[in-house]
Amino acid sequence: MSNPINEGSIKLIAPKTEKISKEMGVFYNPVMSLNRDISILLLNSINKNNLQIADILAATGVRSIRFLKELSKIKIKKIYINDYDKKAIKLIKENLTLNGIQYKNNKKINIHNEDANLFLLNSTGFDYIDIDPFGTPNNFLDASCRRISRDGILAVTATDTSALCGTFPKACLRKYWAMPRKDAIMHETGLRILIRKIQLAAAQYDKALIPIFSYSKQHYMRIFLKNEKGKNKVDAILKQHGFFNNAGPIWLGSLWDKNLVNKMHKNALKNKIFDQNKELIKFLKTIKEESKINAVGFYDLHDISEKNKIKHLQKKEVILDKIKKVGYKASETHFKGEGIRSDIPYPKLIKLLQK
Residues in contact with ligand SAM, counted by CB under 6 A, come to a total of 20
Nearer Cβ to ligand SAM, position 126 or 134? 134
Q: Find, among 262, 227, 344, 228, the residue nearest to 297 by Cα.
A: 344
Angstrom distances, CA of residue 89 to CA of 112, 116, 248, 252, 272: 8, 13, 40, 40, 30
In angstroms, the CA 305 to CA 245 distance is: 18
Binding mask 100-129 for ligand SAM (x = CB under 6 A): ---------------xx-------------
Task: Count the neighbouring beta carbons within 10 Å of the beta carbon of residue 247.
Answer: 24
Is residue 15 near ligand SAM by the rule CB under 6 A? no
Nearer Cβ to ligand SAM, position 84 or 244? 84
Instruction: Kindly tell me the burial class for residue 309, based on how many C-beta atoms sit within 10 Å of its own C-beta (0-12, 13-18, 19 or more).
Output: exposed
Task: Compute the residue count for the chain.
Answer: 355
Nearer Cβ to ligand SAM, position 33 or 240? 33
Q: What is the nearest approach in angstroms of ligand SAM to the Cβ of residue 29?
A: 6
Nearer Cβ to ligand SAM, position 60 or 199? 60
Angstrom distances, CA of residue 6 to CA of 28, 44, 62: 12, 21, 10
Instruction: Figure out which of the listed residues 25, 110, 205, 329 binds ligand SAM, where binding follows CB under 6 A.
Output: 25
Instruction: Figure out which of the listed residues 133, 211, 248, 253 binds ligand SAM, where binding follows CB under 6 A.
Output: 133
- Cα torsion 117, 118, 119, 122 to 10°: value is 120
Is residue 160 near ligand SAM by the rule CB under 6 A? no
Is residue 178 near ligand SAM by the rule CB under 6 A? no
Q: What is the nearest approach in angstroms of ligand SAM to the Cβ of residue 185?
A: 27
Is residue 132 near ligand SAM by the rule CB under 6 A? yes
Is residue 255 near ligand SAM by the rule CB under 6 A? no
Nearer Cβ to ligand SAM, position 10 or 62? 62
Is residue 183 near ligand SAM by the rule CB under 6 A? no
Residue 336 β-bridge partners: 333
Q: What is the nearest approach in angstroms of ligand SAM to the Cβ of residue 292?
A: 30
33-43 and 278-290 helices cross at what angle (nearest 10)?
60
Nearer Cβ to ligand SAM, position 37 or 300? 37
Is residue 134 near ligand SAM by the rule CB under 6 A? yes
Is residue 26 near ligand SAM by the rule CB under 6 A? yes
Is residue 59 near ligand SAM by the rule CB under 6 A? yes
Is residue 32 near ligand SAM by the rule CB under 6 A? yes
62-70 and 86-98 helices cross at what angle (nearest 10)?
30
Amino acid at 188: E
Binding mask 60-99 for ligand SAM (x = CB under 6 A): x-xx-------------------xxx--x-----------
Instruction: Assess contact for 66 and 8: CB atoms under 8 A.
Output: yes
Nearer Cβ to ligand SAM, position 134 or 283? 134
In angstroms, the CA 321 to CA 343 distance is: 14
Task: Count the neighbouring beta carbons within 10 Å of the beta carbon of residue 321.
Answer: 12
Where does this chain touch ligand SAM (CB under 6 A) — which range of 59-67, 253-261, 281-289, 304-312? Answer: 59-67
Instruction: Kindly tell me the burial class for residue 16, based on how many C-beta atoms sit within 10 Å of its own C-beta (0-12, 13-18, 19 or more).
Output: exposed
In angstroms, the CA 308 to CA 352 distance is: 12
Q: What is the nearest approach in angstroms of ligand SAM to the Cβ of residue 25?
A: 5
Instruction: Assess contact for 95 and 65: CB atoms under 8 A.
Output: yes
Nearer Cβ to ligand SAM, position 198 or 353? 198
Q: What is the nearest approach in angstroms of ligand SAM to the Cβ of residue 156?
A: 12
Q: Can you give the binding site for ligand SAM, defined by CB under 6 A?
A: 25-26, 28, 32, 36, 57-60, 62-63, 83-85, 88, 115-116, 132-134
